[in-house]
Structure 1
Amino acid sequence: MLKSVLKSKDIQIRDPFVLPLEEEGKYYLFGSTDKNIWGPGTGFDAYVSDDLSNWEGPHPVFRPPADFFAEANFWAPEVYAYGGRYYMFATFRRKDNDRLGTAVLAADLPLGPFEPVSAGPVTPEAWSSLDGSLFVDDAGAPWMVFCHEWQQIGDGDICAVRLAPDLSCAAGEPVTLFRASQAPWTTPYESPRYPDAINYVTDGPYLFRGEEGVLYMLWASFIDNTYALGVAKSESGGLLGPWTHQPEALYRDDGGHGMVFRLFDGRRALAIHAPNRTPEERPLFLEIAERDGRMVIAGPLLG
């Protein structure tokens, strides 16, 4: 069946993640694609482009099997080429305890179909966790970096846990990298569900290396109840930090949950969704650059 060709403004998506495949000259766009992502989960769709402007799709890349562990809140799929296959890290709300967790799926092709690799989430069963992201350290060991959710602990954490070589399960205990309130740019989130609590949100961590090997992390939170994106830097150059924060948010105009990828011309691009309101969220692509040891937005990209 022929798929539609769409502009970015036509695609409702949250948590956009771009997998560039240079050998194909194609960009693969994944994200939270249910029309009502706060309700029952349908699965994940993807889109394909050669210019970040015209997208062909949607392609159904994951639909849950009948015995799947979750049926709601299918969020933030990230797809990586790893070990000769394509691995998806995605968040789901468990049926058994109603908590969020990130599970691992895999496929032989970037458009799937993706099938579960882990037996449920690889994040701790007792935690409400989300937005797991793959990081491979200098020794070649895989880790998941994820959020311990603010709704459970108030001051949200960014954590890391080492994974088994096949990514099917955790291979150690989680380590806390930092808390949301430690960043100078965040402010408490005023939640109508928790009106008497002081909450700091962590959302959407993503790690990448700068030109000189500096390890950076994108992550999202709120400024005066407006969604925003910040940057942290590892002072040791390794995953365990310590992590310091750029004093100002990288993007604060009601957008976030970012990731960084290389354009085929060598420039770095930032993908976020904006605004942070359903059903208005759309993918936004910006050029990002490293200047004087900091990440900055260099300007818009076509899309």
Structure 2
Amino acid sequence: MLTKADIQIRDPFVLPIKESGLYYLYGSTDKDIWKGKATGFDVYRSKDLENWEGPFPAFRPPADFWSDTNYWAPEVHIYKGRYYMFATFKAEGVCRGTQILVSDDPLGPFVPHSDGPVTPRDWECLDGTLYVDKEGKPWMIFCHEWVQIKDGTICAIQLADDLSKAVGEPIRLFTASEAPWVDQLESPRHGPGYVTDGPFMYHSSDGKLYMLWSSFRGGRYAQGLAVSESGDVLGRWKQLPEPLYESDGGHGMIFQTFDGRIMLSLHSPNDTPNERAVFIELEEVDGVLRKK
């Protein structure tokens, strides 16, 4: 058995499966996700969020797979009885993008479902997440990356009912600089810019639609929230003025434990190889999410 302290992981995504009483932990699990040849994605499982079995190889690229580097931020969503992984990939001379994989088991193996990325092929994109609206239509929420456009955006694009491809054009929801808590990042490689990372959608108990997303404040990775004023994925999105977490951690998601607690999962610190999964209990107070 392993503890969270034993597991190097970025972008930790927890999938609780009530029927089995098990939590599945996915994330960016290569030792160095920034450079070199990628290996794949591993998954861990636990009954109590403290002691973990694994790693199990959730995804290993087939010989003809188009991407060989930057395997980032896998999320696994249950949709129409199957397990769909949304994950970021890149190759030399090819824009980074989110591809959708599928499996009949939460441990995998996951195999390509979409034909390459479903994000626009000429955009540098990352961190796609699934959202199903009130009419049952699937959407992917994703980031148009700041390294290409300087002021990163979060966009939505409708997906085909079988999640095999995007339909329609991407719709911009907001830019990073619209959030009052976000500071400009100074990158030696890419210069100055405003970062959008890791969107995740969450419905509060009173029906509000929140989006969790990450950027930088004071040079450190941070986690913020936006709320849809219409209650719909297309917004208008209002940024909460202060970050939810600003202690050099982010790329979070929210899940509910089997005993009903609301948990924020993120990685901290934001440096390789020291990043670890952190779970923080949240509460809803007057319709607002905050740390408990």
1:62 and 2:56 aligned = no
Give the corresponding residue for 1:43: 40
Structure 1 residue 94 displacement after superposition: 3.3
Structure 1 residue 98 displacement after superposition: 2.9
Structure 1 residue 294 displacement after superposition: 1.8
1:217 and 2:211 aligned = yes
1:33 corresponds to which of 29, 35, 39: 29
Structure 1 residue 184 displacement after superposition: 0.5
Conserved in 2, the CA contact under 8 Å of 1:246 and 1:294?
no
Structure 1 residue 46 displacement after superposition: 0.4
**For the residues of structure 2 that align with 1:231 and 1:290, how far apart are their CA atoms?**
13
Deviation per residue, 1:184-227 (Å, 9 max, x gap): 000000111133xx400000000010011100000000012100
**For the residues of structure 2 that align with 1:45 and 1:102, how far apart are their CA atoms?**
18
Give % identity.
59
Give the corresponding residue for 2:273: 279
Give the corresponding residue for 1:237: 231
Give the corresponding residue for 1:78: 75
Deviation per residue, 1:49-83 (Å, 9 max, x gap): 01000000000010000110100000000001111
Give the corresponding residue for 2:7: 11
Gaps spanning 5+ residues in structure 1: where? 299-303
Conserved in 1, the CA contact under 8 Å of 2:128 and 2:141?
yes
Give the corresponding residue for 2:97: 101
1:208 and 2:202 aligned = yes
Structure 1 residue 293 displacement after superposition: 2.8
What is the TM-score of this pair, normalised by structure 1?
A: 0.95
1:111 and 2:107 aligned = yes
1:269 and 2:263 aligned = yes
**For the residues of structure 2 that align with 1:179 and 1:67, how far apart are their CA atoms?**
36
Conserved in 2, the CA contact under 8 Å of 1:104 and 1:121?
yes
Q: How does 1:86-235 map to 2 (within 5 A)?
A: 86-95=83-92, 97-195=93-191, 198-235=192-229
**For the residues of structure 2 that align with 1:153 and 1:70, how far apart are their CA atoms?**
23
1:251 corresponds to which of 245, 259, 270: 245
**For the residues of structure 2 that align with 1:18 and 1:147, how far apart are their CA atoms?**
20
Conserved in 1, the CA contact under 8 Å of 2:256 and 2:263?
yes
Which amino acid in structure 1 is aligned with residue 205 of structure 2? E
**For the residues of structure 2 that align with 1:241 and 1:121, how far apart are their CA atoms?**
25
Conserved in 2, the CA contact under 8 Å of 1:77 and 1:88?
yes
**For the residues of structure 1 that align with 2:84 and 2:51, how far apart are their CA atoms?**
25
Structure 1 residue 292 displacement after superposition: 2.2
**For the residues of structure 2 that align with 1:149 and 1:225, how far apart are their CA atoms?**
18
What is the TM-score of this pair, normalised by structure 2?
A: 0.98
Structure 1 residue 262 displacement after superposition: 0.6
Structure 1 residue 99 displacement after superposition: 1.5
SS in structure 2 of the partner of residue 171 of structure 1: strand
Give the corresponding residue for 1:301: none
**For the residues of structure 2 that align with 1:7 and 1:145, how far apart are their CA atoms?**
31
SS in structure 2 of the partner of residue 172 of structure 1: strand
Gaps spanning 5+ residues in structure 2: where? none
List, as ranges, runs of 4+ consecutive aligned residues in structure 1 with deviation greater than 4 Å.
none
Conserved in 1, the CA contact under 8 Å of 2:141 and 2:199?
yes
**For the residues of structure 2 that align with 1:259 and 1:156, how far apart are their CA atoms?**
19
Question: Superposition RMSD on alpha carbons, in Å?
Answer: 0.8
Structure 1 residue 84 displacement after superposition: 1.1
Which amino acid in structure 2 is aligned with residue 219 of structure 1? W
